[in-house]
Amino acid sequence: MAKPILAPSMLAADHSRLAEDVLGVQAAGASWLHIDIMDGHFVPNLTFGPQTVADLRPKTSLFFDVHLMLDNPQDYVEAFVKAGADQVSIHVEPDYDIAGTLKKIKSLGARAGIVLNPPTPLEDVIPYLEQVDIVLAMTVQPGFGGQSFQEDVLKKTARLAELRKQRGLEFRIEVDGGVNQENAALCRQSGVDTLVAGTAFFKAQDRIAFLRAIETEEQS
Ligand code: DX5
Ligand code: ZN
């Protein structure tokens, strides 16, 4: 089982002082930073662009886990890798060359991920499992932070963990949306090794303790 990782989501930071908040994430002991990119089409919200990533890159050694919520991710993966993304994850729902885009991310030297929304069947990502470093199962409908965790998604992560074992693969299994200290243990028991947390991390009274609790969570 991979070591659990908490990826604080920059969406929940103060957008007028991103660099300071990102340094705060690092100071809390995190190794990853989740960066949500929204286009106002695939999801009804707008966030950051490649320039934001490029400007933050020299300020931190955090692993940049970039989550593209775009209708045309194939047109932007290069810009985000060049800006300093360590990993780029793309959704399975829009109509574009998914296999080709994953290949492109890898050929640019970054890790590649595939993402599925809560209503999307697991079968839709199965064709890409051999190609990816991470599968991200959304536990909310993407677009906004602060929504409630959809627990039934954990059936998909548990199934993913089985498939990974059966096929001898090594991709990580990530959840994103409504993750907090209460549901983290359940996530871990359902095969999840990578947990994104926006609101719960930034609102935590003690971020160091929050991070430690999630990253040392024992699987029962
Ligand atoms: C939602 C984003 C999430 C968001 C999670 O569309 O993909 O990464 O930041 O925020 P919380 O943890 O507040 O649900
Ligand atoms: Zn996200």
What value does the mean pLDDT of the chain take?
97
Minimum-distance ligand 1 atom for the alpha carbon of 197: 12
Do residues 182 and 20 lie in contact, with contact meaning Cβ atoms separated by under 8 Å?
A: no
User: What is the C-alpha to C-alpha distance for residues 172 and 146, in angstroms, rounded to an integer?
Assistant: 24
- Is residue 219 very low, low, confident or very high in pLDDT (cuts 50, 70, 90)? very low
Burial of 130 (0-12, 13-18, 19+ CB in 10 A): exposed
CA max distance for the chain: 46
Q: Please, where are the H alpha helices in the chain?
A: 18-27, 50-56, 77-83, 98-107, 154-167, 181-189, 199-203, 207-215
Higher-scoring residue by pLDDT: 216, 32: 32
Summarize pLDDT for 17-48 with one digit per residue, the tens: 999 999 999 999 999 999 999 999 999 999 99
172, pLDDT greater than 80: yes
Shortest-distance atom of ligand 1 to CA 43: 6
Look at residue 218 in the predicted model and tell me its pLDDT: 57
- The tens digit of pLDDT for each residue in 145-158 reads 999 999 999 999 99
Ligand 1 within 6 A of 146 CB?
A: yes
Distance 116 CA to ligand 2 centre (A): 11
- Residues marked active site are found at 36, 176
Give the chain's domain count. Answer: 1
User: How many angstroms is it from 174 CA to the middle of ligand 1?
Assistant: 12
pLDDT tens for residues 111-166? 999 999 999 999 999 999 999 999 999 999 999 999 999 999 999 999 999 999 99
State the pLDDT at residue 145: 98
Ligand 1 atom 7 nearest Cα: 142
- Strand extents, DSSP E, 120-184: 134-138, 172-176
Cα of 166 from ligand 1 centre, angstroms: 30
Helical axes 154-167 vs 181-189, angle rounded to 10°: 40
Domain carrying residue 22: 5-216
Measured in Å, residue 34 CA sits from the centre of ligand 2 at: 6
Q: Is the CB of 143 under 6 A from ligand 1?
A: yes
User: Looking at residues 97-111, what average pLDDT do you find?
Assistant: 98
Check which CATH number belongs to the domain holding 202 and give it: 3.20.20.70
State the closest ligand 1 atom to the C-alpha of 67, by its place in the atom list counted from 1: 7
